[in-house]
Amino acid sequence: MMKILSFNNKEEIKAFFRQKVKELHPDKGGCIEKYLILQNWYKQALEQFRNENKIKISKISDRYVGYGNSFYKTQKFTIKELALGLEKELTLPLKENPCPYCEGSGINKHSLKKTCSYCHGEGILKLVSGNEEVIHNCTFCAGVGYINIERCSHCFGKGKIKEEIPLKIKLPFGLRQGDILCISGETMGVCWNFYIEVEVEPHPFWRLEGDNLICEVKVPFYEILLRDTLEVETLEGIERVPTGYFADGEPVVFTGRGPFLSDESRLRRGDLIVNLKTLFPKTLSLEAETLLYNFKNLIERERLC
């Protein structure tokens, strides 16, 4: 049976299912067992895609930010996370709860109280109507005699508090500095959308440039000649590159080893471009200089030969 993940969307699964049904349906002379397996697989596949689609994430232009209620934050991402579209845990206000400190009333019950100005703190109103006296529970302070004047300091009197909950999302491909991720609140069950601006965490020797990942390798000049290979950190890990590749001074390009570019064509990737930066000592001892001079002569002589 096909692996579910090799499909990009529901439509493709449906199409595949329909095609297979034509072959396997018992009415068409197919094997019942195989047909049932197909049915089962189809159910699972749809379920899986439903879960995946639950969180709706899209990349949008910042001109379209802020439709309706929204939550906006900037989030740091590493270059690796962006380039490979990894999973990232974000902490987002995904729930709104009644404030636990004031039980949703918005009032600080344990603080300053003002004597109720209607009943003078008695909790009851002794009213006179004609000659009759009517005693009534004070309606302004609900009979307690005082009014809380301080707002709850946890929810600032709103009675509600947004709760921050960690959420794992799979990053779409092709995110760059300043891009904005939009997570639709509808799919998260809240009435605000989430906008997350991408901030790229600076990396000591990587940077994203257009579709490509640029990697700078700093090596002392003599090491280039002495070593057979140089260690280059690629997105997939450390790799050894023959030093000879850098001989003509041009950057070495690893085609298709850069960041993934877009969700539509998952196979397209940018390039990894390795720039070699040579390091050299600021001063040389006399001995080293002599040796180096000899070395230079030797090289030139060899070339002449």
Partner 1 sequence: MIEDDILKDFLVEAKDGIAKMEEEFIELERDKNNVEILKSLFRTMHSLKGAAGFFGFKSLEGIAHFAEDILSKLRDGVIEASEDIVDILLKCLDEIKFIVAYLEESKTEPLDDRILEFLVNLSKFNDKLKKRIQEEKVEKVESAELKEEIAPKELEERSIGDQTLEEIKPSEAVEKTDLPVKPSPEEISERVKDDKPLPTPGIKELTETHIKVDVRLLDTLMNLAGELVLARNRVVQLANRLSDSDLQRSVQVLSMVTTELQETIMKTRMQPIGVVFNKFPRIVRDLAKSLNKRVNLHLEGTETELDRSIIEAIKDPLTHLVRNSIDHGIEAPEIRAQVGKSPEGNLFLRAYHEGGQVVIEIEDDGKGIDLEKIKRKAVEKGLVSPEEIDRLSEKEILSFIFKSGFSTAEKITQVSGRGVGMDVVKTNIEKLGGSIEINTILRKGTTVRVKIPLTLAIIPALIVTSNEQRYAIPQVNLKEIVSINPQKDILYLGESQFYRLRGEIIPILSLSNILDQNKTQEEHNLLILTTGERYYGLLVDRIYDSEEIVVKPLGKWFKGIPLYSGATIMGDGKLALILDIVGLSKFVGLKAEEVERALEEKQIKTITEETQFILLFDVEDTTLALPLALISRLDKIRGDKIEIVGGKEIILYKNKVIPVIRLENYLPIQGVLPQEEYSVLFFSEREKTCAIICSRIVDTIETSLQVETDLYVQPGILGYRIINNKTVLFLDIYKIIEMYDPEWFTVKSLEREGPTNILLAEDSPFFQNMISNYLTQGGFHVEIAPNGEEALKKLKAGFKPDLIISDIEMPVMDGFEFIKELRSQNEFRDIPVMVLTSLTGEDIRRKVFELGANAYEVKLERERVLSAIEKLLEKKLNRAMVL
Please identify, among the stretches 39-47, 99-107, 145-153, 279-287, the one whose residues bind partner 1 according to the rule CB under 8 A: 145-153
Determine, following the binding rule CB under 8 A, whether residue 238 of this chain makes contact with partner 1: no
* Distance, CA of 273 to CA of 208 (rounded, Å): 10
CB of 119: closest distance to partner 1 in angstroms? 8
Quick one: which of 289, 224, 207, 260 has its CA closest to 83? Answer: 260
Question: 2-10: which pairs have CB atoms within 8 A and are 24 or more residues apart?
Answer: 2/41, 4/41, 4/44, 4/45, 4/48, 4/49, 7/45, 7/49, 8/266, 9/49, 10/46, 10/49, 10/53
What is the closest distance, in whole angstroms, from the C-beta atom of residue 64 to partner 1 in the complex?
A: 5
Per CB under 8 A, contacts with partner 1 among 256-285 are 264
What is the residue type of 7? F
Among 65, 169, 219, 224, indicate the residue that binds partner 1 (CB under 8 A).
Answer: 65
When asked if residue 192 is in the footprint of partner 1 (CB under 8 A), the reply is yes
Q: Which of 50, 95, 126, 266 binds partner 1 (CB under 8 A)?
A: 126
Does 34 help bind partner 1 (rule: CB under 8 A)? no
Binding window for partner 1 (CB under 8 A); candidates: 21-29, 179-187, 283-291, 295-303: 179-187
For residue 203, the minimal CB distance to partner 1 (Å) is 18
Q: Does 122 bind partner 1 (CB under 8 A)?
A: yes
105 binds partner 1 (CB under 8 A): no
Residue in 72, 221, 293, 295 binding partner 1, rule: CB under 8 A: 72
Those residues with Cβ within 8 angstroms of residue 91's Cβ, 6 or more apart along the chain or in another chain: 164, 165, 166, 167
Tell whether residue 124 is a contact of partner 1 (CB under 8 A): yes
Least separation, in Å, of the C-beta of 246 and partner 1?
Answer: 22
- In the complex, the residues that contact partner 1 under the rule CB under 8 A are 58-74, 93, 113, 115, 117-118, 120-130, 134-140, 144-146, 151, 153-154, 156-157, 162, 164, 182, 184, 186, 192-193, 195, 197, 209-212, 264
